[in-house]
Amino acid sequence: MPTWLIVILAIAAGIGMAVAAKKKEDPKFKPLAAVCVLVLLVCAFMHIDNQIGVFGESKEVRDQQSSAARFSEARIKALCEYVKSKNPGTIVIIPSGGTNYAKNEYTMKQVELVKKYIGNAEVKPVEYTRTEEEMAMNPMPTAKEWNSFFKANPDANLFIVLEQLPMGQEILRLDIFKKKGKQKLALMDMGDPMFVKPFFSDKAGNVVLVSINGKPGLKQEDYEKLAPSDLDEAFKMRYELVTKDNVDSIK
């Protein structure tokens, strides 16, 4: 319960008890006193719950979790709205976690939000083909696994990538970056800008249509601020949309 509401209820209950005390000789006011006491007890309990989390997490933790969810949705909303504005054609969503993505609550929430803002799109995960021992060394899809995925989906025009692309020079092994085909990528995370930036350009075929990057120059206190309810404002607080028009300014 919000603190402001607890305060209002407690004040109202206090006023009610004061009135009941003045009219204590009148039996009609006895129920009022009892109700006010009950309200004060509830207010006290809810205040304690807000502080230490009697029902689970404290209010502070719940606020932080809600803020993180709004920031996450703000990123997805901004990326999807830009993609839709470009009329990309057939869209495929690539969730994180490979073929086991549906077992992860956070991943499923991301997929649902992408569908909410992008509309019609098919969900297809990258298939991990390595052993458990190999996966333990590198839990992210390899260039080989990515190449197999893209080869198996030749009819898709655009991939919304929630999965992690290979890092560093390994990303240069992706076949999708070696040809100027019709397929493009929308990256939820830009990853290593030095290796990704060249693929935004017209010369490279605009393979990367758009990406999300962290807003530069933020300080620790900026990250401690909660996300506003307005998702567009939340996005502006933390992130920037990267396209071929501004990619050269990304460090």
What pTM does this model have? 0.77
Does one domain contain both 40 and 117? no
Please check whether residue 177 is in contact with residue 199, taking contact to mean a CB–CB distance below 8 angstroms. yes
Could you tell me if 67 and 37 lie in one domain?
no
| 152-170 pLDDT per residue, tens | 999 999 999 999 999 888 8
- My answer on whether 163 and 245 are in the same domain is yes
Type of residue numbered 35? V
DSSP letter string over 162-200?
-SPPPPGGGGGG-GGGSS--S-EEEESS---HHHHGGGG
User: Residue 247 burial (CB < 10 Å; 0-12/13-18/19+)?
Assistant: buried
Cβ distance 183 to 174 under 8 Å?
A: no
Which of 32, 52, 72 is the endpoint of a domain?
52
Confidence of residue 143 (pLDDT cuts 50, 70, 90): very high
- Pairing relationship of beta strands 158-161 and 208-214 according to DSSP bridges: unpaired
Same domain, 45 and 72: no
Whether the predicted pLDDT of 3 surpasses 60: yes
Q: Do 78 and 46 fall into the same domain?
A: no
Tokens of 245: 């028009």
Q: Are residues 72 and 45 in the same domain?
A: no
Residue-level pLDDT at 110: 96
**Which residue, among 79, 73, 74, has the nearest Cα to 208 in the 3D structure?**
79
What average pLDDT does the segment 197-211 reach?
88
**What's the total number of domains in the chain?**
2
Domain limits for position 120:
61-249
pLDDT, greater one: 29 or 131: 131
29 plus 97 within the same structural domain: no
Domain boundary among 20, 35, 52: 52
Are 114 and 20 within one domain?
Answer: no
Residues 167 and 214 in one domain: yes
